[in-house]
Amino acid sequence: MTSQKIILIVEDNEINRAMLRGILESEYKVLEAPNGLEALKVLNDQKDNVSLILLDIVMPVMDGYTFLSILKNDPSISSIPVIVATQNDNESDEVAALSHGATDFVAKPYRPQIILHRVASIISLRENAAMINQFRYDRLTSLYSKEFFYRRVREELQAHPDREYDMLCSNIENFKLINDILGVPAGDQLLISVAEMIQEKIGERGICGRLSADQFACLIHRPQAYPQEYFIHANSEINTLANMQNVVVKWGVYVIRDKQVSVEQMCDRALLAVRRIKGQYNNYVAAYDDTLRNKLLREQAITDSMEAALKQRQFVIYLQPKFQIKDDQLAGAEALVRWNHPQWGFQSPAEFIPLFERNGFITKLDQYVWEQSCAELHRWDQAGYPQISVSVNVSRADIYNSDLIDFLTRILKKYELQPSRLHLEITESAYTENPGQIIATVEQLRTLGFVIEMDDFGSGYSSLNMLNQLPLDILKLDMKFIQNETAKPTNQGILRFIMSLARWMNLSVVAEGVETREQLERLRETGCDYVQGYYFARPMPCEEFEKLLQKQYEQASKKSLENSLPLPDQQKPMLLLADGDVRYCEEMRGVLSQQYLVQCVSDGQSVLQYLDMYANQIRLIILSLDLKDPEGIDVLKTLQHRIEVRDIPIIATGYWDDQWEEAALDIGADDFAGKPHTPMSLWKRVQRTQSLSVLRQQEQILREEAYRDYLTGLLNRRGLSAVCQALRQDDAPLALFRFDLDNLKKVNDQLGRDQGDQRIRQFSHLLRSHFRQSDILARLDQDEFIVVMKKTARKEAVVRKGEALGQAFVEAGWNQDVPLTVSAGIAMWDLSETLDEVLARADSALKCAKVGCQSRCRLWEEANVWGIRSEIVKK
Ligand code: C2E
Ligand code: CA
Ligand code: CA
């Protein structure tokens, strides 16, 4: 419905009014007022609708000039065009009318055609102007629109080549978030406030415009300086105006030295300067400078060379191993790209990936990385290695690529791989924009069998609330998150919460960026499944990774070899027979080869070489001391120092001589067989040595087992005494802690022994993570633990350590159902007493800690002994 335009006639003479109405009524809607004052009242109601005013000058109450002055000073009505009626031929009237702001005039008496014509042309002029304004001005803020701002700046710079100007651009931090959380009207209000502030500060002294949603720009005359305080002040003003609290508006300055640079580029550069201080606390303004310029140039150089680099295979894949936390087994790898540039050297992906994500090249590069990863997997399969998986990174742009699914299925087919061998890491932040489309595609991939990992989990703000809508198999905890959470001394509430969430959603958890043993222990305690990080290995070239894989393979096959007795014939154990006498060798081989694969060598050098290659397959060495190059006795000495040979039994041989025999046994040979001897007598010695060596190995294992507590892997009482016997004076002073879990019996009774054992294990993990690797940790009885700290003299620090541990145990939250606490008694030890004596002192401090209610941790002092007696008596 096109409504009729409205014209307001202001005229005291009724006849004239009627006449004008008669002329206009056919085409317009007409309002009337008898004087200026009445006209203002009409406008008050209808100001947005009146298209034109026809105004008489001489009127009672308020004349035409007065009315015109008021109208022009009121911005809400000042733009309504006014045609003034003047007396015919009175030029001074016409001049006065125009100087008061009238748009045009008509002479009385009124001539209908002239009036209609003038009215129509002025209304149309005004509408055009309004349209132009709409184009020139930003509707929301009334600042110049981007295009018009650019034009105005160009004109200004051309008009004043001698003046110095700067370009200032601003950006509101997290504007999208403000819009999302507070709603669009609040966002709009904020933008209006920024514009108001800019108008107030710069106004007529510069040219201001709005470039995009939350970006504003101003061209100003160069001031002396740009003090931070000024911008901080402006920022708080905006917060007041918008009635908000934490809005941060930052500014970038581009100093215009070269006026040939395009205005768009000037703004881009000022905005780049803003981006550089994004998120920096208390830094509100920054200037564009050479480092930024260099960054741009570098980005340009990267962009120019990326395509060729891909063709020339300058991009290479590094693999970072991932381990299963429960048994330290290699579980897979993440493929991380490196750029080996012929001039620039190795480039970190942190530099080029973000650029490739912006310019779209990432899709090509990622497809290359995926294909190379598959090729690698295929090669390993061919070599018969265990079938591990490789995780590859998938950028957001990759998911929008319509070819994604086809491409992935194509390469899997080409390299004969199951989809589950390729894990797709999709960063958490990819889901924040347009989640619907991303989810749909990822769901399809998952249905096809790909394993989906959410990368960088915990780095953004939007993860938890949408977690259950996402097609996922694995959560990969962000490195920063791990480092922050594990740095906190005790409370791992959030980590624990995430692990239980993951369990509940059937997801595995990988922690990346694990750099220390402490972090590993914390993650182990909270139940994390896989770990990746510098603590284990840095990303490495594929060949190096293959060696790891090979090692794992050998271990696995060794195990299966050991389990598969009896050995098939060709897999007889190897025996190395080293003797310069060929006839002797042949003679002996006859008997020995019934049970061994006998390898004969005739000089010292060959013995060492042979061992280099086959150390792990040789079961026994028969070594002649008459050997040359080097001498047999020297070879024997060398072998004692080589770890990989240390467990292989050695029988030395030589022409009978008491001294030879003694020397050989002294150096470490297991037996000596004097020559000449029959093959049968040598055979007997071989048998004896073998069974001795088996016994020795068993004893080693038994001893190891006998010294360890089965439940926690800590030392037991026997182990503790053995290790303490080996303590030396330079380990002192020492502190011996005796910990006791109060109430463990109650846990056993009420929740069952399993739960009790669980608490004991948890406490032992806690001990491991709180003490140094060189400290001695043991479990004595059911619920008693001992820690011996070396080189520790400061009593306060020791007590604090004991208290912190008790605190950590309570706060770990394992003990909700039956409250469990821990008490500690500590004794300082200078090694002048026996272990039993110091244990006894720690025990009396422990008793004291248990009865004294103030602290659950007590240091043994002479006075305690009396204190505790009296406290026991009191009870
Ligand atoms: P990301 O996916 O989060 O990869 C983990 C990054 O952490 C890698 O950095 C890795 O070398 C590093 N890292 C691993 N363990 C530790 C540790 O213990 N401590 C510390 N401080 N860092 C550790 P890198 O290789 O520089 O890669 C950086 C980022 O570049 C990656 O972060 C990923 O977002 C991206 N990226 C790397 N390769 C590719 C790729 O082929 N495609 C895509 N789209 N992105 C890639
Ligand atoms: Ca990743
Ligand atoms: Ca990551």
Q: Which of 78, 105, 134 is the last residue of a domain?
A: 134
Residues 648 and 687 in one domain: yes
Q: Are residues 396 and 495 in the same domain?
A: yes
Q: Is the dihedral of CA 595, 601, 606, 608 positive or negative?
A: positive
Q: Write phi, then psi, for 314 (nearest 5 degrees).
A: -80, -20
CB of 166 within 6 A of ligand 1: the answer is: no
Mutation choice for ligand 1 from 306, 336, 363, CB with most ligand atoms inside 8 A: 336
- Domain membership flag for residue 300: no
Q: Which of 75, 221, 219, 249 is nearest to 148 (CA)?
A: 219
pLDDT score, position 567 = 38
Domain count, the chain: 5
Q: Would the CB of 353 count as within 6 Å of ligand 1?
A: yes
> Is the minimum distance from the CB of 336 to ligand 1 under 6 angstroms?
yes
Give the 3-state secondary structure of residue 256.
Answer: coil
Same domain, yes or no: 510 and 387 = yes
Ligand nearest to the CA of 365: 1
Residue 369 CA: nearest ligand 1 atom is 41
CA distances (Å), 461 to each of 464, 497, 505, 526, 792, in order? 8, 16, 19, 23, 44
Query: What CATH number is given to the structural domain containing 191?
Result: 3.30.70.270
337 lines ligand 1 (CB under 6 A): yes
pLDDT of the residue at 704: 65
Tell whether 559 is covered by a domain.
no
803 token code pair: 């208290």
Contact 297, 355 (CB under 8 A): no
| C-alpha pair distances (Å), 582 with each of 578, 586, 650, 681, 711 | 10, 6, 20, 19, 55
Residue of minimum CA distance from atom 42 in ligand 1: 393
| Angle, CA 439 vertex, CA 435 and CA 445 arms, to 5° | 150
Cα 512 to middle of ligand 2, angstroms = 9
Instruction: Point out the ligand 1 atom lying closest to the alpha carbon of residue 349.
Output: 30
3-state secondary structure 539-605: CEEHHHHHHHHHHHHHHHHHHHHHHCCCCCHHHCCEEEEECCCHHHHHHHHHHHCCCCEEEEECCHH
DSSP state of 431: G
Residues forming a β-bridge with 579:
none
State if residue 513 touches ligand 1 by the CB under 6 angstroms criterion: yes
How is residue 215 written in tokens?
A: 């970006």
Residue 127 forms part of a structural domain: yes
Residue 361 within any structural domain of the chain: yes
Q: Nearest C-alpha to atom 20 of ligand 1 is from which residue?
A: 513
Nearest CA to ligand 1 atom 2: 393
Distance 364 CA to ligand 3 centre (A): 21
Q: What is the pLDDT of residue 701?
A: 64
Judged by DSSP in three states, 133 sits in helix
113 and 68 in one domain?
A: yes
Distance, CA of 781 to CA of 339 (rounded, Å): 57
Residues 672 and 735 in one domain: no
534 & 436 share domain = yes
Tens digits of residue pLDDT in 497-528: 888 888 888 889 999 999 999 899 889 988 89
Nearest CA to ligand 1 atom 35: 349
C-alpha 321 – ligand 1 centre gap (Å): 12
Beta strands (DSSP E) in 34-164 are 50-56, 82-86, 104-107
Rounded Cα distance, 108 and 57, in Å: 12
Q: Locate all alpha helices (DSSP H) within 141-212, ordered by sequence.
A: 146-159, 175-182, 184-201
What beta strand segments (E) does 358-421 contain?
Answer: 389-394
- Cα 455 to averaged position of ligand 2 atoms, centre (Å): 6
Quote the domain boundaries for residue 52: 6-134
181-231 confidence digits (pLDDT tens): 888 899 999 999 999 999 999 878 899 999 988 999 999 999 989 999 999
User: Is residue 492 in contact with ligand 1, taking CB distance under 6 Å?
Assistant: no
Q: What are phi and psi of 860, to 5 degrees?
A: -70, 125
Whether residue 566 is contained in a domain is answered as no
- The last residue of one of the domains, among 104, 134, 164, is 134
CATH of the domain at 647: 3.40.50.2300
State if residue 366 touches ligand 1 by the CB under 6 angstroms criterion.
yes
Order the strands of the 574-578 sheet from edge to edge: 597-601, 574-578, 618-624, 650-655, 671-675
- What digits encode the pLDDT tens for the residues 341-365? 999 999 999 999 999 998 899 999 9
Q: Using a 6 Å cutoff on CB, does residue 497 contact ligand 1?
A: no
Using a 6 Å cutoff on CB, does residue 534 contact ligand 1?
A: yes
> Looking at residue 372, which CATH number applies to its domain?
3.20.20.450
Say if residues 669 and 650 touch (Cβ distance below 8 Å).
yes
- CA distance linking residue 621 with residue 669, whole number of Å: 10
- Spatial distance between the Cα atoms of 812 and 567, rounded to a whole number of angstroms: 51
539 & 462 share domain = yes
Q: What was the pLDDT predicted at 492?
A: 62
Q: Is 565 within the bounds of a domain?
A: no
Give the span between the Cα atoms of 404 and 398, in whole angstroms. 7
Directed axis angle between helix 14-24 and helix 112-136, to 10°? 70
pTM as predicted: 0.47
- Find out whether 628 and 578 touch, Cβ atoms under 8 Å: no
Reading the block at residue 265, the tokens are 């580029």
Element housing 252 (H / E): strand 249-255
Q: Enumerate the β-bridge partners of residue 607.
A: none
Give nearest CA residue, ligand 1 atom 17.
513
Ligand 2 centre distance from Cα of residue 456 (Å): 7
Is any ligand 1 atom within 6 A of the Cβ of residue 458? no
**Whether residue 319 has its Cβ less than 6 Å from ligand 1:** no
Residue 850 placed within a domain: yes
pLDDT tens for residues 681-721?
A: 898 889 888 877 776 776 666 666 677 787 888 888 888 98
541 dihedral zone (left: phi>0; alpha: psi -120 to 50; beta): beta
- For residue 787, the Cα-to-chain-centroid distance in whole angstroms is 36
456 lines ligand 1 (CB under 6 A): yes
Picking from 60, 78, 195, 62, the residue whose alpha carbon sits closest to that of residue 141 is 195
* 585 lies in some domain: yes
The whole-number pLDDT of residue 157 equals 94
Pair (282, 331) in one structural domain: no
**Mean pLDDT, contiguous 10-residue spans, the chain (875 residues):** 81 90 92 93 88 90 90 85 80 78 82 86 80 80 91 92 95 88 90 93 90 94 92 93 91 93 91 88 90 84 95 97 90 96 93 92 97 96 87 95 94 93 91 82 92 88 68 91 75 78 87 92 90 95 94 72 42 88 91 88 89 83 92 90 79 84 86 90 87 71 71 86 83 92 87 86 87 86 90 88 88 78 93 94 90 74 52 40
Q: Do 221 and 252 fall within a single domain?
A: yes
Specify whether 587 is located in the same domain as 663: yes
Q: Are residues 64 and 101 in the same domain?
A: yes
Determine which residue's CA is closest to atom 15 belonging to ligand 1: 533
Q: Is the CB of 391 under 6 A from ligand 1?
A: no
Residue 531 CA, ligand 1 centroid: distance in Å: 14
pLDDT for the residue numbered 862: 64
Instruction: Give 153 Cα–ligand 3 centroid separation in angstroms.
Output: 44
Q: Report the nearest atom of ligand 1 relative to the CA of 476.
A: 3
Alpha carbon of 624 to those of 643, 673, 872: distances in Å?
21, 9, 73
Q: Are residues 479 and 624 in the same domain?
A: no
Domain boundary among 134, 155, 171: 134
CB–CB of 607/600 below 8 Å? no
349 lines ligand 1 (CB under 6 A): yes
Task: Compute CA distances 406 → 377, 409, 412, 448, whole Å.
Answer: 19, 5, 10, 11
Question: Is the C-beta atom of 453 inside 6 A of ligand 1?
Answer: no
Q: 3-class SS at 165?
A: strand
The burial class, CB within 10 Å (0-12 / 13-18 / 19+), for 366 is buried
Ligand 1 centre to CA of 336 (Å) is 6
Query: What is residue 329's DSSP assignment?
Result: -
| Interval between CA 511 and ligand 3 midpoint (Å) | 9
